[in-house]
Structure 1
Amino acid sequence: MFGLGIKSAFSDNIAIDLGTANTLVYVAGRGVILNEPSVVAIRSKGGVREVLAVGDKAKQMLGRTPESIETIRPLRDGVIADFVATEEMLRQFIGRTKSLVEFVRPRILICVPAGATPVERRAVYETAMSAGARKVYLVEEPVAAAIGAGLPIDEPKGSMVVDIGGGTTDVAVLSLGGVVQASSIRCGGNAMDEAIIRYVRRRHQLLIGESNAERIKIEAGSASRAVNGEAAEIVIRGREIREGKPKTVVLGPQDIAEALEGPIEKIAEFIQHTIEDLPPEISSDICERGIHLSGGGAKLAKLDQELERRIGIEIHLPGQPEQCVIAGSAAILQSLKEREHLLIKP
């Protein structure tokens, strides 16, 4: 179907988890050699856009640039929003990979959200080709996540994975080595950051930026209002809305849980509706085996417990959920012929 004639571990095969928040690059035989924020710093001068930095260096500039420089996330909700910036970011990331591994034009396996449209898939395909790929293969993120999480997808029983990324939450149900159902909603880690920004503004009349909201989520975030043991608190400083004066506020896990009520409820309802739409036998398998989480958003404290409480099905959380997609992509890359049916057309 895709004309694959590839041996299992060529050094010029790479997998890319092109995420809204972070991009990870895996090289066959070498492992994950790059994990950086999907951020690009651009200077505009005389109508010409010049890329100044990508990844970690660009993220350090967020909210701190002069008028002539903008820092952007070229992917929104898991799909490309700025083609030129995404292409340059990919080109630089692939270039860094080339400096470590000797190959000319690599074959690339790249992940896309389950709900990506044919137009969005084609955009990812063409951007990767323009960035220096010799051949590009596409796979849905939750499918890669299921394999990376170690789910027995080849068994005649249903397995479900929920991949919570920066821009989207993707769900895949697999059985007998194939996809029974895959879908996504545009709600993930970024929506949680935005919810924190709105909460702090509404409750404390304080303006904070995206980077500060992400720090709050990571350091003191919790999906549950129930506090057990020693609760982490975080001090935030910002500009008071009415008078414009500096203001300091202390937030705890209960505050963050209240702020994140909306996004968590949306994700829980999405999972619930997906299960309701499954054939009875598959739905029964999921209820028996539980649901596996993956993605950076799954690292939010007590999210697994809160989703389990709301959905009523056991939730499993792997040790490194943010690595599941790239680990699954690597496994597919190493056995492309056997996993050809999991690839999707650009």
Structure 2
Amino acid sequence: MFALSRDIGIDLGTASVLVYMKDEGIVLNEPSVVAIDRNTDKILAVGDEAKRMVGRTPGDIVAVRPMSAGVISDYDITEKMLKYFIQKACGGGIIMRPRIMICIPSEVTQVQKRAVIDAAVHAGARRAFLIEEPIAAAIGAGLDIEKPCGNMVVDIGGGTTDVAVISLGNAVVSKSIKVAGNNFDDAIIRYIRRKYNIIIGDRTAEEVKINIGSAYEKDKEEFMTVKGRSLISGLPKSFDISSKEVTEALQEPLADIIDIVHSVLEKTPPELAADICDRGIVLTGGGSLLHGLDKLLEEKMDVPVILANDPISCVALGTGKALDSLPLMEDHETVVDAFKIK
């Protein structure tokens, strides 16, 4: 039923799921979307195939995201989605169930932690362990978090932004807010509706963000043709939007992220703050790819800001490396505190 057991690291995100497999690296990166038949509750598609259905399904089929703000919002669907991704990553036929490390936002309840562990075990894990996202992101970005010096990570995912100052393998100060990449999309949708009286879908908003979105006004203004439905006539309509307008639309969620980074820096002990001045702030997560975000944060915080080499994969890589660092975890009921696993 389940080929040879492998340790697996999973970045179980609001927008996407990345799976790291020992000795192979990232083997899967798909949207955390599931398409369901409402009449039968049967799952019709998962991942890329399901995302293509978003906004384009008939009434009896719905494409849902079972993760919300980094935590499980629909347990049954999350369990089935995890099972699908685990089996797809392992390539079928596993003799032993794999041990799995899953990342979670830094501020989640014990109930939410237990829900993730239970879902992983029911989806096919032999043992399931948790690691906080900023810790995993720091490990995946190649930071040496075991030394007694300050490392600051800002992980901007799809549903949450996690900020932490890490020293000696633990988060000294950390905060998490439910503002991230998906909120950038929502802000663009609201702006276009308010200014142009046109409704656009989530996928279109994401394309606008990726193609011309910027946290910092670009030197050369760019334009993109966008299609949606007019609120006045009810008919399809296309129009051009500029990168300057998108930057304006993004100001509110960006201000929230700036505030949380500022708040964490305020609470950082002086010696660690001095380290951060030297080492800078490391940006990870898909949301950090927004053009100019590193420049904006650097200007607001007056601290160097470095974008990780592979920001999208950092958390997944970190979960895998954390597993490699815990060779004896199978022999312990309580796992090493350095990885904040409960």
Which of the residues 215, 219, 222 maps onto 2:214?
222
Partner residue of 2:245?
A: 255
Residues in 2 aligned to 1:292 and 1:264: alpha-carbon distance in whole angstroms: 17
Partner residue of 1:40?
A: 34
State the superposition RMSD in angstroms.
1.6
1:17·1:326 contact (CA, 8 Å) conserved in 2?
yes
SS of the equivalent of 1:215 reads helix
SS of the equivalent of 2:38 reads strand
1:61 aligns with 2:53: yes
How many Å apart are 1:143 and its aligned residue? 0.3
Identity rate, percent: 46
How many Å apart are 1:98 and its aligned residue? 2.6
Partner residue of 1:81?
A: 73
Which of the residues 130, 143, 146 maps onto 1:138?
130
SS of the equivalent of 1:278 reads coil
Q: Residue type of the partner of 2:198?
A: L
1:11·1:29 contact (CA, 8 Å) conserved in 2?
no
SS of the equivalent of 1:316 reads strand
User: 1:22-50: CA deviations, max 9, x gaps?
Assistant: 100111112111100000000021xx411
How many Å apart are 1:345 and its aligned residue? 4.2
Residues in 2 aligned to 1:86 and 1:27: alpha-carbon distance in whole angstroms: 20
Mapping for residues 1-346 of structure 1, pairs under 5 Å? 12-45=6-39, 48-99=40-91, 102-225=94-217, 227-229=218-220, 231-337=221-327, 340-346=336-342
Q: Residue type of the partner of 1:128?
A: A
How many Å apart are 1:152 and its aligned residue? 2.3
1:137·1:343 contact (CA, 8 Å) conserved in 2?
no
2:175·2:260 contact (CA, 8 Å) conserved in 1?
no
User: 1:117-156: CA deviations, max 9, x gaps?
Assistant: 1111111111111111110010001100011111221222
Q: Residue type of the partner of 1:39?
A: V
Q: Which moved more, 1:158-167 or 1:240-249?
A: 240-249
How many Å apart are 1:246 and its aligned residue? 2.3
SS of the equivalent of 1:322 reads coil
Residues in 2 aligned to 1:204 and 1:212: alpha-carbon distance in whole angstroms: 15
TM-score normalised by structure 1 residue count = 0.92
1:11·1:27 contact (CA, 8 Å) conserved in 2?
no
Residues in 1 aligned to 2:211 and 2:309: alpha-carbon distance in whole angstroms: 18
Q: Residue type of the partner of 1:167?
A: G
TM-score normalised by structure 2 residue count = 0.94
SS of the equivalent of 1:247 reads strand
Q: Which ranges in structure 1 are unaligned for 5 or more consecutive residues?
A: 1-9
2:169·2:339 contact (CA, 8 Å) conserved in 1?
no
Q: Which ranges in structure 2 are unaligned for 5 or more consecutive residues?
A: 329-334
How many Å apart are 1:179 and its aligned residue? 2.3
Residues in 2 aligned to 1:318 and 1:84: alpha-carbon distance in whole angstroms: 34
